[in-house]
Amino acid sequence: MENLYTNIKSRDLFLRAVKVLPTGIPGHLGPVQSQFIPTSAFPFYAERAEGSHFWDLDGNRYIDYMCAYGPNVLGYNNEAVEAAAREQAAKGNCMPLPGRIQVDLAEKLVNTIEIADWAFFLKNGGDATTFALMTARAATGRTKVIRIEGGYHGVAPWTQGPGAAGVLETDLKENLMAPWNDAEAVESLMDAHRNRVAAFIATPYDHRIFADNQLPAPGYWQRIRELCDKHGVVLIIDDVRAGFRLSMKGSAHYFGFKPDLACYCKALANGHNISAVVGRESLRSAASRVFFTGSYWSSAVPMAAALACLGELERLKGPELMISLGEKVTAGLKTAAEKEGIDLVISGVPSMFYMRIANDDSLMMQQEFCAQCALRGVFFVSHHNHFLNCSLTDDDIAQTLETAARAFKAVAEKYPENLKK
């Protein structure tokens, strides 16, 4: 009989949390909006993390394929990053003036990312996308933004959908929506709203939740670049999620085009709180006119961590390493699923793969698979892309695939009517 994990201490702490925090755990990490379904199979709280693993309050260890939703790119508590952070903390973090490290980091980004002539630092991915849009509006004097249907760019009101709590119709009135991979639809919107579109914003490939991820069609980005140039529209890439997992030069470089602005956050500092927008020279003046700041945005410790993180990613050839690790993981998962008559669909880039079980039209089998893995120490979620980090070992992968085989078997036993014949 297998010894499956239990999460008693997580449940006990959650009972305290609901008394003092909205929904107990606010946002997408909590049981109300989570992807941890069924919630009985997942822990609610983490105690510590190291490398590619984290431990919950009950002492259960998990191989982590969410990587804190992306920030863990080198491995938790990476020594090079933490040493740089400690060294800077000893000198000062939040000070009345920015430190030298701000210039050092800006120079590093300009020398690393293909299109970068300057950099601007913020705290969250949503800060970066909002600053980029404001810069585009400042540069063009226009108001409208073309977005991709189903695309995610943070939680600022303009990024959300109709009917979202606290969001007004006026917050959304300048948004124009186009399907992914449909350059003709984008062209039609630019023609219909000539001289009123400030920006086109999209992720480098379509990695929305609840759907197979889609790479750009051949020539798609090159056509979008042509349309933006023709209509004087600023092309913004939201590289918050994919940045430095495809290419150190930027995901746009990976797909062969050049945006005007690019937004970074998750993998920038291996978990330290910082984001950045980089841009072309032509937008430097507009960016300098946008007032966008906060009390902690010049804090030096995250900048030191980011500088060290970028150095380690370069040393390890991080994007190539994570893609290679992802290929091993996804190939093994598909093989294990096939043995049980389960059709596992893998999409996206291997360093940031999305998976779903296609045997039925619901998420029930997928949720059961992720739950069975969690109960055995491998952390997948049911309807979000997953992340690889550079610390994942061959032993981790072997244990992952052994656990997945048991989980697929449990799914097959529960849903025999849905299996491939």
Cα separation values, 179 from 27, 147, 187, Å: 27, 9, 12
> What pLDDT score was predicted for residue 407?
98
Give the containing element (helix H, strand E) for 234: strand 234-238
> What pLDDT score was predicted for residue 70?
97
* Among the listed residues 124, 140, 135, 110, the one whose alpha carbon sits nearest the alpha carbon of residue 288: 135
- Tens-of-pLDDT digits for all 421 residues of the chain? 688 999 999 999 999 999 999 989 988 888 767 788 889 999 999 999 999 999 999 999 999 999 999 999 999 999 999 999 999 999 999 999 999 999 999 999 999 999 999 999 999 999 999 999 999 999 999 999 999 999 999 999 999 999 999 999 999 999 999 999 999 999 999 999 999 999 999 999 999 999 999 999 999 999 999 999 999 999 999 999 999 999 999 999 999 999 999 999 999 999 999 999 999 999 999 999 999 999 999 999 999 999 999 999 999 999 999 999 999 999 999 999 999 999 999 999 999 999 999 998 889 999 999 999 999 999 999 999 999 999 999 999 999 999 999 999 999 999 999 997 6
> What pLDDT score was predicted for residue 205?
98
| Structure token digits, residue 71 | 């920030």
> What pLDDT score was predicted for residue 1?
66
Q: How remote is the C-alpha of 155 from its chain's centroid?
A: 14
d(CA 178, CA 180): 7
d(CA 297, CA 265): 13
**CB-count burial class (<10 Å; 0-12, 13-18, 19+) for 70:** buried
Domains and CATH numbers, the chain: 8-64+318-418 (3.90.1150.10), 79-316 (3.40.640.10)
Give the containing element (helix H, strand E) for 188: helix 183-192
> What pLDDT score was predicted for residue 421?
63
Which residue matches tokens 């039609």?
188
> What pLDDT score was predicted for residue 109?
98
* Among the listed residues 401, 129, 418, 154, the one whose alpha carbon sits nearest the alpha carbon of residue 279: 129
**AA letter at 387:** F
| Structure token digits, residue 419 | 């299996």
- For residue 312, how many C-alpha atoms fall within 13 Å in the half-sphere facing its CB? 25
d(CA 412, CA 107): 53
Torsion sign over Cα 89, 94, 100, 104: positive
Give the containing element (helix H, strand E) for 251: helix 251-255
> What pLDDT score was predicted for residue 33?
74
